[in-house]
Structure 1
């Protein structure tokens, strides 16, 4: 599972950004000859360069792409990076996969003007919304198929992949929970873990929102979620351990509240691991893609975006258990990987995407009440 640094608190907004990301300064790589001063640096679409063939040609001339904070086992990024490099003959320099969104922005600032600076960003909402001046507007060929609420109207940023908060559980050790409140039952004593501290980690934050929805709360009121964890602790069911693949495989954390794509991925290592999205408690979150306006390889950066939002790129995320942002359009067009899509946990109820104002209010409530209620 992704590190907590990668999961800084930031839930998707219905009108602004999405959940979390990461990065740190990349290693010193040999230059591929790219330059932020090329025509590609000002291109807001492939058409500005003469079409996709021209964009591909420019990217191949640059020869390299600098990505940062992309764990290979996170949403299938390892295969995505390999597929892009193989398809276009562009070397992908992937720097320090585990870090924070702010580290990513810091790297862009510190390495500005250097060939090793990050070309693209994969960010969480809080950091992304504070750094839009660093983004280069660009609309991919499939941009119209991304829901309006999940992209900047001028193309400065676009949500790409994400998922829903879920309950992962070892079916060989505990019964299947039918609802959030089921976790209060004796069968789950000492078995329920939350991925992180909700005052610091995005996954844990959204876990509290999910439990709030499952206990009569709303996007505007997460108090029932905090109260739920207070009861969970009082019942002896809350396990104050940060879950990892190792703790799951060893049986230390047989129930984990985390994003569905992370829980689904665990089934590859633990055959009895199942995932459920509680009915009526569906909390959604998507990540943000953006191009650095100071990208040393501007054509490769734009080609990378085209690949990520193409059917091929979206299906590769789906293969990793993440929900691609174009899923609905691809399903209608018959281009989605139906087998992979069918493995995702079913959802029942309208997904909740907190607004920035709701997220801020919830964070303030957690800061004031979480420690008192749960410790």
Structure 2
């Protein structure tokens, strides 16, 4: 173990003496972070200070100098752009993480991910099989925010843009422009369909089932023509005020227990494949995930940058 901590017991001992951990942008109802935070705090006797739970990834970085978070949970594009702000640290499960979702120096690494999905109310509409199905008049559709500002909404547009696995931002914008002109692009509370990450639509489905198990009010599907995936990555602030607690937090998140807690929140653990091979992935929880049609399409940095430039120019005059 690096950074002067000879083993986990020593790391935990120093972290307990620090006494606190500052996290940022972790809503308690996002991928089960409420239970994750509480479990960590109870396990180690460390107070977790939850800063700006609803902050965006960009806001996390902008606020770091003032708020002094110890750790970050970021979209991949923001992590790539700010890697020089992170302390390099390789967690014990480093070898279990696929190479394409970690920085080789240990500056950042994916903690969990998901597919862009279509959540729908089966009492009102039939299950859509593709994003183009949403153009049918029976569907009232919502994105999870403004795609120029919100990662989930941006990726929703990009999932709809895929043609044979290739993103075409204009194609996605055109689909939502047609929905807006037809008066069927609305907010999530009024929609029969919500385009969002499968873990968030999965949470909606679980709440609906808890309210009425006999007649579920929400189901989730991942269209074969739009299997877009993405990861959220973890990183340690280079200027972390509680450096041992920050490293202990990472070790906890990437332990089998931590990864299964993400799975309980309908997210797909970054170490999931290795855990499945070892038999440590919670099979009951995994069975609750929406069925994936195959490996996800992951946007490259150039693709993401080009698409964001296009949306900044086109969204407000067309679909916005």
With normalisation by structure 1, the TM-score equals 0.79
In structure 2, the partner of 1:230 is: 177
1:205 and 1:217 mapped to 2: Cα distance? 19
Given that 1:119 and 1:298 are in contact with CA atoms closer than 8 Å, whether structure 2 keeps it comes out as yes
Deviations 1:227-257 (A, max 9, x none): 2223333444x3232x2xxx2xxxx222101
In the alignment, structure 1 residue 268 sits paired with structure 2 residue 206 = yes
Gaps of 5+ in 2: 210-216
1:141 and 1:179 mapped to 2: Cα distance? 40
Higher strand share goes to which structure?
2
Given that 2:165 and 2:225 are in contact with CA atoms closer than 8 Å, whether structure 1 keeps it comes out as no
Given that 2:22 and 2:51 are in contact with CA atoms closer than 8 Å, whether structure 1 keeps it comes out as yes
In the alignment, structure 1 residue 257 sits paired with structure 2 residue 195 = yes
Report the secondary structure of 2:154's partner residue.
helix
In structure 1, the partner of 2:13 is: 57
Given that 2:112 and 2:267 are in contact with CA atoms closer than 8 Å, whether structure 1 keeps it comes out as yes
In the alignment, structure 1 residue 131 sits paired with structure 2 residue 82 = yes
Given that 2:28 and 2:35 are in contact with CA atoms closer than 8 Å, whether structure 1 keeps it comes out as yes
1:91 and 1:330 mapped to 2: Cα distance? 29
| Residue 329 of structure 1: how far off its partner (Å) | 0.8
Given that 1:317 and 1:324 are in contact with CA atoms closer than 8 Å, whether structure 2 keeps it comes out as yes
Deviations 1:84-120 (A, max 9, x none): 1111122212122112223322332125xxxxx2111
In the alignment, structure 1 residue 82 sits paired with structure 2 residue 38 = yes
1:183 and 1:102 mapped to 2: Cα distance? 31
Deviations 1:13-67 (A, max 9, x none): xxxxxxxxxxxxxxxxxxxxxxxxxxxxxxxx35842111111111122122111
In the alignment, structure 1 residue 321 sits paired with structure 2 residue 266 = yes
Worse-superposed segment, 275-284 or 94-103: 94-103
2:61 and 2:152 mapped to 1: Cα distance? 21
Report the secondary structure of 1:269's partner residue.
helix
1:353 and 1:253 mapped to 2: Cα distance? 27
| Residue 187 of structure 1: how far off its partner (Å) | 2.2
1:227 and 1:102 mapped to 2: Cα distance? 27
In the alignment, structure 1 residue 366 sits paired with structure 2 residue 311 = yes
State the Cα RMSD in Å.
Answer: 1.7
Report the secondary structure of 1:291's partner residue.
strand
1:155 and 1:62 mapped to 2: Cα distance? 23
1:139 and 1:158 mapped to 2: Cα distance? 9
Compared CA separation, residues 351 and 275, structure 1 to 2 (3 A): same
Given that 1:219 and 1:354 are in contact with CA atoms closer than 8 Å, whether structure 2 keeps it comes out as no
Aligned pair count reads 313
Gaps of 5+ in 1: 1-44, 112-116
In the alignment, structure 1 residue 120 sits paired with structure 2 residue 71 = yes
1:209 and 1:217 mapped to 2: Cα distance? 13
2:2 and 2:262 mapped to 1: Cα distance? 23
Given that 2:131 and 2:225 are in contact with CA atoms closer than 8 Å, whether structure 1 keeps it comes out as no
Deviations 1:98-152 (A, max 9, x none): 12223322332125xxxxx211111223332232222110000001101101010
In structure 2, the partner of 1:104 is: 60
Deviations 1:171-210 (A, max 9, x none): 111111122222122322xx11112222222111111111
Given that 1:281 and 1:349 are in contact with CA atoms closer than 8 Å, whether structure 2 keeps it comes out as no
1:59 and 1:68 mapped to 2: Cα distance? 18
